[in-house]
């Protein structure tokens, strides 16, 4: 199973086994990684699963979709590598993915 | 009540509100006993996908789970599934569950949810007539959810319309019977309702508006629905989506103040200071709406109640209430709603319906009170921020599509 590393804003790391086909958000929530709220459960309705994708992984995670882009427009501290983790599907290719979490989701 | 005294928390109701409460108590550092009591056979799961991806077969039950079942034991949450709480002894702070066992508490959280209304009709118990609330309900529906089957949905609220959309995508023949003259009558404006009516009609859904079901026909299995005007509609399956009633029986029985839901203050505290109520079963003052008491049926409300109670019980940072938010997915349309539109006196549109991407802004006087945004996430989030921070924008500004929503929000007072 692909492994994903989530790094909290205070530097604390969480390495999680993420099933292929689920999203980067789901794997975090199911393992209670703090810093990803994901209140809507992945419906792209709440913009509380914001992550920064480690730059070397950007090619593999793909680009923001247009809905995601609009949602991120209203999130705090958005960077070029910002994504909503509910919109990144886990694949074998993403084994080893590193994402960083913002200070706050609100 | 100081947090020092609280060693035992019981949560009645293992839906999203109850499950989130247990999780957030632990995240907030609560180290005492947590007992989570639920009538369903599984650990807490998300309900919104039931009428969407789960019905369609795109998600299995494991993916609906808020958290894996193993987490409860790891975090020392005693999860009692298939268990019904039947009595609250407030004087002695005990909950009795079916079978007679009594569990003591220092703080009690009622997250009992809501029950779907049953069709008050002869034949409502026939095989092939379904309510739509739990994963088990949907599993039963799915046994008959075959391409070409004739489905009658009774009730054109969000559940009814979402089910109809999935059914059309799965090739069922769909008729919606609604007693009101338009769909979504209780939850949106005639303009937005008209848009969804047109969309479903274009997708092949038939509507009987102003239709009164009189009887469900069939010998042991449903064969049709008879209306009061004598019409008879054939059916292989019937799904009732005619709303829910808050599950307040246990609160009423122990003398808590109830109305349309268990009445609480902003901290979700009921008329008994040791008992809280959250989620679909509870009604609390809406800080963004002059403190009006409202009972919301939504994920936002379930999660917010859990956050408020966990913060209160652990002495954590007080939660800042969000503007209420909701969503509905139908076909390729994502409807996102912020705020409460009740009491609006005019509607202003940004974008046009023909583009299948527009937002309806609801005003009460000059104040923006709600938005229905269809495939317009920026308008949804922007309006939500405005409502939350008690700001507004004049209608003429909202209508100006040449300026992006983000810029408008930044300029708002």
- Is B299 close to A39, i.e. CB distance below 8 A? yes
Q: Do B381 and A70 touch (CB under 8 A)?
A: yes
The rounded distance, in Å, linking the Cα atoms of B239 and A101 is 42
* Number of domains chain A contains: 1
Mutate to test the interface with A, among B63, B72, B74, B372 (most CBs of A within 10 A): B63
**A44 and B377: CB-CB below 8 Å?**
yes
Mean predicted confidence (pLDDT) in B230-253: 97
Residues from chain B contacting residue A40 (CB–CB below 8 Å):
48, 299, 327
Closest CA to B339 of B185, B195, B190, B187: B187
Instruction: Answer yes or no: is B394 within a domain.
Output: yes
- Categorize the per-residue pLDDT at B1 as very low, low, confident or very high, splitting at 50, 70 and 90: very low
| Helix H or strand E encompassing B292 | strand B292-294
B340: Cβ–Cβ under 8 A, 6 or more apart, which residues? B286, B289, B294, B324, B369, B370
Q: What confidence score (pLDDT) does residue A32 get?
A: 83
Determine whether the interchain pair B299/A73 forms a contact, defined as Cβ–Cβ distance below 8 Å.
no
Which one, of B388, B160, B291, lies nearest residue B371 by Cα? Answer: B388
Cβ count near A21 (within 10 Å): 10
E strands present in B297-357: 325-330, 333-339, 346-350
In-domain check, residue A105: no
How far away is chain B from the Cα of A94, in angstroms, using its nearest Cα?
Answer: 20
The answer to whether residue B324 is domain-embedded is no
Q: What is the pLDDT of residues A44-92, one digit of tens each?
A: 888 889 999 999 999 999 888 888 998 998 888 899 999 999 999 999 9
Residues B132 and B221 in one domain: yes
Q: Give tens-digit pLDDT for B343-400.
A: 999 999 999 999 999 999 999 999 999 999 999 999 999 999 999 999 999 999 999 9
DSSP three-state, residue B218: strand
Confidence (pLDDT) at A41? 85
What CATH number does residue A20 fall under? Answer: 3.10.20.30
Span B272-294, mean pLDDT?
97
* pLDDT of the residue at B3: 44
User: How much is the ipTM here?
Assistant: 0.90
Tell me if chain A has a CB within 8 Å of the CB of B72.
Answer: no
Domain coverage including residue A23? 3-100
In which residue are the tokens 């947090």 written?
B3
When pLDDT is averaged across residues B169-183 and rounded to a whole number, the result is: 98
Q: What are φ and ψ of residue B218, in 5° steps?
A: 145, 155
Q: What is the pLDDT of residue B317?
A: 86
Q: Which residues of A touch B375 (CB under 8 A)?
A: 67
Which among B65-74, B108-117, B404-413 has the top mean pLDDT? Answer: B108-117
When pLDDT is averaged across residues B36-53 and rounded to a whole number, the result is 96
Residue B379: give the domain boundaries.
332-411
Residues B286 and B203 in one domain: no
Closest CA to B344 of B297, B294, B289: B289
Query: In chain B, which residues have their Cβ closer than 8 Å to the Cβ of A70?
Result: 376-378, 381
Q: Please state, for a pLDDT cut of 70, what percent of chain A lies above it.
A: 100
Decide if A66 is inside a domain. Answer: yes
- Tell me: do B147 and B166 sit in the same domain: yes
In a domain, residue B325? The reply is no
* Amino acid B248: pLDDT: 98
Q: For chain B, how many structural domains are there in total? A: 3
For position B148, which CATH number holds?
Answer: 3.50.50.60
Q: Is residue B334's pLDDT more than 90?
A: yes
Dump pLDDT digits (tens) for B2-24: 445 899 999 999 999 999 999 99
| B55 lies in the same domain as B104 | yes
Contact: A46, B65; criterion CB under 8 Å: no
Please indicate if any CB of chain A lies within 8 Å of the CB of B381.
yes
């Amino acid at each position: 199973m692909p492994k994903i590393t989530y790094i909290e804003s205070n530097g604390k790391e969480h390495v999680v086994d993420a099933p292929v086909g689920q999203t980067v958000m789901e794997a975090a929530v199911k393992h209670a990684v703090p810093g990803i709220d994901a209140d809507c459960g992945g419906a792209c309705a709440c913009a509380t699963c914001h992550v920064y994708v480690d730059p070397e992984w950007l090619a593999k995670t793909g680009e923001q979709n247009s809905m995601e882009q609009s949602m991120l427009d209203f999130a705090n501290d958005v960077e070029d590598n910002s994504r909503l983790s509910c919109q990144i599907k886990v694949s074998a290719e993403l084994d080893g993915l590193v994402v960083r979490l913002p200070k706050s989701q609100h | 009540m100081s947090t020092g005294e609280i060693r035992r928390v019981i949560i009645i109701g293992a839906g999203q509100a109850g499950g989130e409460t247990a999780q957030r108590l632990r995240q907030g550092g609560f180290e005492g006993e947590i007992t989570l009591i639920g009538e369903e056979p599984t650990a807490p799961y998300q309900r919104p996908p039931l009428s969407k991806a789960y019905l369609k077969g795109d998600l299995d039950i494991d993916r609906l789970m808020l958290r894996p079942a193993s987490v409860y034991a790891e975090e020392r949450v005693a999860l009692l599934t298939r268990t019904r709480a039947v009595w609250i002894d407030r004087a002695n702070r005990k909950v009795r569950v079916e079978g007679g066992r009594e569990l003591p508490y220092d703080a009690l959280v009622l997250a009992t949810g809501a029950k779907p209304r049953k069709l008050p009709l002869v034949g409502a118990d026939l095989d092939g007539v379904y309510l739509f609330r739990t994963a088990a309900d949907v599993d039963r529906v799915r046994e008959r959810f075959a391409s070409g089957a004739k489905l009658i949905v009774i009730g054109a609220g969000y559940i009814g319309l979402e089910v109809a959309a999935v059914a059309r995508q799965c090739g069922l023949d769909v008729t919606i019977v609604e007693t009101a003259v338009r769909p979504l009558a209780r939850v949106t404006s005639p303009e937005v309702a008209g848009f969804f009516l047109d969309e479903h009609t274009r997708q092949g859904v038939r509507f009987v508006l102003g239709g009164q079901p009189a009887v469900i026909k069939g010998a042991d299995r449903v064969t049709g629905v008879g209306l009061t005007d004598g019409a008879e509609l054939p059916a292989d399956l019937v799904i009732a989506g005619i709303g829910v009633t808050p599950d307040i029986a246990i609160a009423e029985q122990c003398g808590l103040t109830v109305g349309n839901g268990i009445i609480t203050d902003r901290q979700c505290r009921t008329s008994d200071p040791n008992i809280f109520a959250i989620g679909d079963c509870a009604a609390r003052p809406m800080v963004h709406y002059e403190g009006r008491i409202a009972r919301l049926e939504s994920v936002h409300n379930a999660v917010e109640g859990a956050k408020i109670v966990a913060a209160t019980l652990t002495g954590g940072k007080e939660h800042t209430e969000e503007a209420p938010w909701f969503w509905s997915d139908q076909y390729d349309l994502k409807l996102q709603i912020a705020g409460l539109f009740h009491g609006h006196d005019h509607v202003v549109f940004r974008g046009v319906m023909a583009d299948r991407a527009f937002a309806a802004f609801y005003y009460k006087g000059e104040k923006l009170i709600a938005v229905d945004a269809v495939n317009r996430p920026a308008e949804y989030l922007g309006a939500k921020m405005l409502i939350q921070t008690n700001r507004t924008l004049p209608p003429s500004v909202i209508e100006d599509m040449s300026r992006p929503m983000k810029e408008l929000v930044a300029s708002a007072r």
